[in-house]
Copies of this chain bind each other. A is one copy, B any other.
Amino acid sequence: MTNQAFLLLIALLMVQLASSANTKQLTSGIPFGEDKAPRVSWNRLVALRNRANFIGRSCKEVKEKYVQSEDGLYYLTTANGVVYQTFCDMTTAGGGWTLVASVHENNIYGKCTVGDRWTSQEGNSANRPEGEGNWMNVKTFGTAEAATVDDYKNPGYYDIEAEDMSVWHVPNKTPMTIWNLASIMRYHTERRFLKLFGGNLYQLFHRYPVKYNVGAYLSDNGPSIPIVYDLGDKESTKMFYGPNTRGETEGGYISFRAINHERAATAICSGVKPKGGQVDAYCIGGGGYFPEGNPHQCGDFTSFAWDGYGTNRGWSASKEMLESSVLLFYR
């Protein structure tokens, strides 16, 4: 999708929203291209501030205890008492989904440079087999509203006791109020798989460390979990990845800790299950060392541009995929 096409899409979505019952959401957005910043009543601000009185560890708890059905920012409290704001999807498949993280590629030309928080910010080096280690620690960064312009990780990532995950691929720079509508792919799991792995990704990745040289491709990969699509399907997913990827993956899954031919570890393969060892072409995040073509595989979106930027040829993902952030939700 070109930039112009994207702007057109946004414009169309605005019209769609304006003519729907969802106008309250629209007025609280900050879409660019609008004539000016939105007007919001004082009563609306009071209502938003009153959400600070809700007490729960997850959007699911807030939804159930306080009967909330509007998507948007809510306050959550961790087991240790950390209070934070994040986005709750209160509508998809019953709602109650907590945004806990986003993976955003700020510069595909930068190979494990600043901004590659889900891989390494200090280059491609065997000295740091875990890289930043952020899949497996309690460090946080970014903000919910900026989840499509920067990496994001909040305390819910390690605190929430969840059962399922939901994933949205949202074009970069999309305003929060239209993430849902602007997404290019959305899906969730339904089998409560997280109960088997400690309740969240922090725990799962302690069982399956995202670290160079922990095992061999295919045989030492982490779990692959079936998904249910909320937007898109197996076929559209395949088209977002390069043609070579289509032959090496099976659609309809989210996969964790996938290892490549050279023993480099990636964190998440969104929408697919690896059937080979070129996982760096379609799985995101990872350890701090990728031996092949050093340092060209190293980065949050690994080697999504291996055969050119957004060409969708060879191993290269499409421009839509490359320029979308991956938003991770728990429920």
Residues of A within 8 A of B (CB): 27-30, 32-40, 42, 44-46, 48-49, 51-52, 55-57, 65, 72-73, 77, 79-83, 85, 107, 109-110, 113-115, 121-122, 125, 127-128, 133, 136-140, 142-143, 145-146, 149-150, 155, 158-162, 173, 175-177, 195, 198-200, 202-203, 206
Contacts and interface: CB of A to CB of B under 8 A. Distances in A.
21 contacts: A28-B81, A30-B79, A32-B136, A32-B202, A32-B203, A33-B206, A36-B199, A37-B159, A39-B161, A40-B57, A45-B77, A48-B77, A73-B80, A109-B127, A113-B122, A115-B122, A136-B173, A138-B175, A139-B146, A140-B143, A140-B146
Contacts of A203: 32, 34, 36-37
A73 B79 contact: no
Nearest to A288: B107
Contact of A56 (B45, B82, B177, B195): B45
Given A114-B121, A161-B36, A81 B73 contact: yes
Contacts of A158: 30, 37
Contacts of A85: 81-83
Closest 3 CB pairs of A and B: A48-B81, A37-B199, A37-B161
Contacts of A195: 36
A84 to B, nearest CB: 10
A83 B159 contact: no
Contacts of A200: 37
A213 B122 CA distance: 29
A29 B79 CA distance: 7
A40 to B, nearest CB: 4
Given A40-B79, A81-B51, A137-B149, A45 B57 contact: yes
Given A35-B198, A38-B161, 15 more contacts: A32-B198, A34-B198, A37-B162, A39-B161, A40-B79, A42-B56, A46-B55, A49-B77, A49-B81, A52-B83, A82-B145, A83-B85, A107-B122, A109-B127, A139-B146
A45 B55 contact: yes
A212 B49 CA distance: 40
Contacts of A142: 139
B177 A38 contact: no
A140 B146 CA distance: 8
A74 to B, nearest CB: 8
Given A83-B49, A159-B30, A203-B36, A109 B137 contact: no
A115 B125 contact: no
B155 A145 contact: yes
Contacts of A175: 138
A55 B40 CA distance: 12
Nearest to A104: B139
Contacts of A128: 107, 109
Contacts of A206: 32-33
A126 to B, nearest CB: 10
Contacts of A138: 30, 145-146, 149, 175
